[in-house]
Amino acid sequence: MNNPSVLDTSFLFKYSSSSSSLQDDLDMAVHSIVNNNHDNVVNERQNVAERILSQKMSQLLTKNITDKKLCFINNIQYEINTTPSWLTK
């Protein structure tokens, strides 16, 4: 089925007198649609969670790199400021 929200009723014409089989098939069709919709929701939530996790990891990595660069620059600045003036002439 392409659209899980549309019930495929083509199987109804196979049954004329056996109502229990028809009820079983209807139950199975409804169960199938509910499961399919549930799986779609679960998959979409998982995709959203993966995107959020990826974004957060990227932000953390960028922050970590930025922090390391700042630390490096601060260390160089400290070394420059603490170097005796006679050594730099």
Query: Which residue range(s) make up the domain with 77?
Result: 16-88
Total count of domains within the chain: 1
Domain contains 3:
no
Domain contains 9:
no
Q: Looking at residue 83, what DSSP letter applies?
A: S
Predicted local confidence at residue 19, as pLDDT: 55
Domain contains 82:
yes
Rounded to two decimals, what is the model's pTM? 0.46
Domain contains 53:
yes
Domain contains 8:
no
Domain contains 66:
yes
Q: Which residues in 4-26 are b (16+ Cβ under 10 Å) and which e?
A: eeeeeeeeeeeeeeeeeeeeeee
Report pLDDT digits (tens) over 66-84: 999 999 999 999 998 888 8
